[in-house]
Structure 1
Amino acid sequence: MTRPVDAAPTTPVPRPAHTTDCTRAKCIALTFDDGPGPFTSAILDALEKAKARASFFMIGSAITTDPGIVRRMAAAGMGVGNHTWSHPQVTALTPDQVTGEITRQSSAVAAATGHEPFAVRPPYGAFTRSTPHAGLPFVLWDVDTEDWKNLDPTRTTQRALSGAHPGAIVLMHDIHPSTAKALPGIIAALQKQGYTLVTVDELLPGMDPSGSYYSAG
């Protein structure tokens, strides 16, 4: 039975403390949009096996079908983010509609984990200066793997690695099998290059709730 989106769990998920200082370490943030889905578990498996962290910007309507995977993310120290309730292009909505999309998704995260999401990623990266933040920073990206378009593990890997740089935020999607297949190799290659894979809020501590961020640069 799906938990109502406005009900918090009895026991909030304990979240591991993040200790990486990205002013000293060579940090990069992998991010995944549009889940949770059938490949999210495999992506979490690869991250946990490598002792790596990432951030997930999830659709609220998908969260309610599998709140357990969201609890697993939080317990593993992953970043749990907001990708609106139904993935609309928010520039086509009224301010009240945008706020409703964000807050409804935040309620679904709170119902699953006992915690609010750390940031919003507007669908398609589309927003304007007047788009409501609903109390959360906007997090975009500066490295686009285009995994949704190429659906090819080799091309996704090439784009992730060629764009990688300290402080980068890398865009992927946890709803494609090709991305799940590519991820172990991407993680291994980045770690071999000396990167520490962190959450966005670890890469960018103290984000302004009204700010918009594309990287740590």
Structure 2
Amino acid sequence: MSRQIYSLLAIAAVTLTLTPAPALADSPANQQAAKTAPAPVDCEQLKCIALTFDDGPGKYAGTLLDTLKKYDAKATFFLEGQYVKSRPAYVKRMAKEGHELGNHSYKHLNFTTIEPGAIRSEIQKTQDAVKKAAGVEPKLLRPPYGMADLQVSDIAAEFGMPIVLWTGGSRDWSTKNADAIKKQTLAVAKRDGIILMHDWVKQTVDVMPSLVKTLQSRGYTLVKVSDIVKKENLAAGDVFPLPEGWEN
């Protein structure tokens, strides 16, 4: 969908990792990487769901990563640059263990209320922090609070990034109750769903082993956002998913 349809759109609360250019085939390192690279996920065949974690890396991220590794689950982390700077080891581990890294601003400012230069600075500083910590740059943008308008869309396009929101939220930031978080997440879980969560909420991290096991028992494969949105063919600056009432 073209981003032109989002003129003056303000999306309230309710990294599609672009395929890199192929490496030189004759490189020994690339040949070894090709042998060890995991098979691509096909969400046309699998019942996929993407758990996404905003505002991190939080101080409980290490425990969360342990759980995801134990159950062979992937996730997408929409990171704040200020916490990337203070907790770079978590970011490096996220990338190393095959998770997706997205950009969630540097200090969680509302992009619809600040000047274009400030938006660009928030995005660029986070890109630089993630690159320094993990050696990769995010390919997806999730604006703070899920707030975007045409200006935000245009600036996202300048950085070559689509804007990815969510299909359902865990409300973990509000309830901070493990049972409630699990119940709410299962209530909004659906095939190709993108679920909003936060790794700074201790109860979210605490309930994750039980939640992951339950989702897997219901047939879900926990994947990265890029696996889910691959078929959408998002262009830089596009917003997905569209909130109700904004579809063509």
Return the alpha-carbon distance in structure 2 between the equivalents of residues 65 and 18 of structure 1: 33
Of the two, which has the highest radius of gyration? 2
Query: Residues 25-82 of structure 1, C-alpha deviation per residue, up to 9 Å, x if partnerless?
Result: 1000000001112111111111110000000001001111121111100011101111
Equivalent in the alignment of 1:204: 229
Partner AA of 1:209 in structure 2: A
Return the alpha-carbon distance in structure 1 between the equivalents of residues 151 and 226 of structure 2: 23
Query: Residues 74-132 of structure 1, C-alpha deviation per residue, up to 9 Å, x if partnerless?
Result: 01110111110111011011112111111110111111111111201100011112212
Q: 3-state DSSP class of the match of 1:204?
A: helix
Q: 3-state DSSP class of the match of 1:127?
A: coil
Return the alpha-carbon distance in structure 2 between the equivalents of residues 211 and 40 of structure 1: 29
Partner AA of 1:110 in structure 2: K
Tell me how many residue pairs correspond in the alignment. Answer: 202
Q: Which residue of the other structure, out of 161, 182, 206, is the alignment partner of 2:207? A: 182
Q: 3-state DSSP class of the match of 2:41?
A: coil
Q: Which sections of structure 1, spanning at least 5 residues, go unmatched? A: 1-13
Return the alpha-carbon distance in structure 2 between the equivalents of residues 44 and 214 of structure 1: 26
Contact 1:16–1:77 (Cα < 8 Å) also in 2 = no
Equivalent in the alignment of 2:124: 103
Q: What displacement does 1:17 show? A: 4.2
Partner AA of 2:140 in structure 1: A
TM score, norm. by length of structure 2: 0.78
Q: Which residue of the other structure, out of 134, 155, 160, is the alignment partner of 1:135? A: 160
Query: Residues 123-165 of structure 1, C-alpha deviation per residue, up to 9 Å, x if partnerless?
Result: 0011112212132111100111110000000010001101111
RMSD: 1.5
Contact 2:164–2:239 (Cα < 8 Å) also in 1 = yes
Whether 1:32 and 2:57 are equivalent positions in the alignment is no
Return the alpha-carbon distance in structure 2 between the equivalents of residues 55 and 79 of structure 1: 4
Contact 2:75–2:225 (Cα < 8 Å) also in 1 = yes
Identical residues among aligned pairs (%): 36
Equivalent in the alignment of 1:193: 218
Q: Which moved more, 1:95-104 or 1:45-54?
A: 95-104
Q: Which sections of structure 2, spanning at least 5 residues, go unmatched? A: 1-32, 243-248
Partner AA of 2:169 in structure 1: D
Return the alpha-carbon distance in structure 2 between the equivalents of residues 196 and 173 of structure 1: 20
Contact 1:79–1:118 (Cα < 8 Å) also in 2 = no
Q: 3-state DSSP class of the match of 1:64?
A: helix
* Structure 1: 4+ residue segments shifted above 6 A: none
Equivalent in the alignment of 1:74: 95
